[in-house]
Amino acid sequence: MTAGTVTLASIERELEDIERDAVVRAAEAADAAALEAVRVGVLGKKGSLTKVLRGLAGLDGGERPQAGQVANRVKKAVDEALAVRREAIGTARLAARLGGPQVDVTLPASGQPTGHVHPLSVVMDELCGIFLSLGFSIAEGPEVEDDFHNFEALNIPADHPARDMQDTFFIEGGRLLRTHTSPVQVRTMKGTEPPLMIVAPGAVYRHDDDVTHSPMFHQIEGLMVGRGVTFRNLKAVLTEFLARIFGPDLAVKFRPSYFPFTEPSAEVDIGCVMCRGTGSGDAGADAGRCKVCKGTGWLEILGCGMVHPKVFADVGYDPEVYTGFAFGIGVERIAMLKLRIDDIRLFYGHDMRFLAQF
């Protein structure tokens, strides 16, 4: 056999050499580029295997199928070697990319930490939201009031003992700080024709300062006036309101009371939210009585009543045509019960250790 002579045996030998060589080089390829070079060197247009395949034309017809079979087997083996190596290189490369340092996920967030909305605002918004959902609009009025709107128009004339119910701050020059949000009732009625339903949230002031009284605190006044508004309606609206605040199975009772601008008037008591109306507290402390309701099982929660005909007459509503109800809610009181706060002064003490809890 001379060089250049194409025989079946020589082709088979050559193919086996190619295979051996390609498999070794593929396994040694360091990266994707090197591996691609191996592929091109064997399987590319000018690759060694391609060249051999072109040479098959020189064989005689009988030998060609056999040589072809060998060539196909070799090509398959080379492809396989390349694939194995390609995957290995890929895996190694990914491993290298994922091998960096562990991120310390426990380090703090960047930027300022979140602040806090004041608990009184949270509760105030919740209460107003309930009334809005019931169809009440929100009204506002001045905090520096005159005697007429704060007292006279609410059936509390000068030298009436009902003024003792509200210790007043007076401003030099004749004004005063409103002692309740009720003047907003008067202002709203004077500017609007019935029917109307409003709530008036805001700051009010009383000359008082201790664990349960702050000289400034917040109220929500409510007023509904129209034809055929009744005491039963008042009970329904307030019962619904209280159930939404304190839960659906709340015990509620209406107890006769006195406010000069409503008649009949009522105080509303709810089953104590702490002891669930049982009146009993931790054994041992306070003789086993609940500290929040002092063992009574009930908590005074708000005052209300049917708008007094004199108040209607003063704002020009005909008391024979219209009836209405009004109520006043202490926001701090509700916030203290809901959030288990036992000293009203915490609201106004600005202590972040308190504020950050809300």
Site for other proteins in 242-271 (CB under 8 A): 253-258, 260, 263-267
Is the CB of 239 or the CB of 280 nearer to other proteins? 239
Q: Which of 10, 50, 192, 233 binds other proteins (CB under 8 A)?
A: 233
Q: Distances in Å between the alpha carbon of 192 and those of 103, 148, 307?
A: 64, 18, 16
Tokens coding 259: 């406010």
Question: 243-254 burial string, b = 16+ CB within 10 Å, else e?
Answer: ebbbeeebebeb
The closest alpha carbon to 271, from 246, 237, 289, 241, belongs to: 246
**CA 156 – CA 153 distance, rounded (Å):** 7
- How many residues line the site for other proteins (CB under 8 A)? 87
**Binders of other proteins among 293-322, rule CB under 8 A?**
306, 308-309
CB of 348 to other proteins, least distance (A): 6
H or E stretch covering 191:
helix 183-191
**CA 200 – CA 139 distance, rounded (Å):** 5
Give φ, ψ of 243 to 5 degrees: -65, -35
CB of 296 to other proteins, least distance (A): 10
Task: Report if residue 344 touches other proteins, rule: CB under 8 A.
Answer: no
Contact 257, 267 (CB under 8 A): yes
Task: Report if residue 83 touches other proteins, rule: CB under 8 A.
Answer: no
Q: Which of 92, 132, 278, 282 binds other proteins (CB under 8 A)?
A: 132
| Kind of pairing between the strands at 262-271 and 176-177 | unpaired
Angle between helices 119-133 and 231-246 (to 10 degrees): 130
Is the CB of 69 or the CB of 357 nearer to other proteins? 357
Cα-based torsion angle of the residue sequence 256, 257, 260, 264 in order, rounded to the nearest 10 degrees: 0
**CA 73 – CA 75 distance, rounded (Å):** 5
**Binders of other proteins among 9-28, rule CB under 8 A?**
none
**Binders of other proteins among 320-339, rule CB under 8 A?**
323
CB of 301 to other proteins, least distance (A): 14
Tokens coding 121: 């605002």
- Candidates 1-9, 47-55, 75-83, 231-239 — which segment interacts with other proteins by CB under 8 A? 231-239
Q: Which of 31, 80, 87, 125 binds other proteins (CB under 8 A)?
A: 125
Task: Report if residue 346 touches other proteins, rule: CB under 8 A.
Answer: no
Contact 308, 261 (CB under 8 A): yes
**CA 118 – CA 101 distance, rounded (Å):** 42
CB of 206 to other proteins, least distance (A): 10
Q: Distances in Å between the alpha carbon of 67 and those of 8, 56, 224?
A: 6, 7, 103
Task: Report if residue 123 touches other proteins, rule: CB under 8 A.
Answer: no
Task: Report if residue 126 touches other proteins, rule: CB under 8 A.
Answer: no
Binding-residue pattern over the window 208 to 227 for other proteins, x denoting contact by CB under 8 A: -x----xxx-------x-x-
Q: Which of 237, 272, 302, 304 binds other proteins (CB under 8 A)?
A: 237
CB of 340 to other proteins, least distance (A): 19
Is the CB of 64 or the CB of 310 nearer to other proteins? 310
**CA 216 – CA 347 distance, rounded (Å):** 11
CB of 316 to other proteins, least distance (A): 18
- Candidates 1-9, 65-73, 88-96, 206-214 — which segment interacts with other proteins by CB under 8 A? 206-214
Q: Which of 57, 107, 211, 283 binds other proteins (CB under 8 A)?
A: 107
The closest alpha carbon to 327, from 273, 271, 259, belongs to: 259
CB of 210 to other proteins, least distance (A): 11
CB of 238 to other proteins, least distance (A): 8
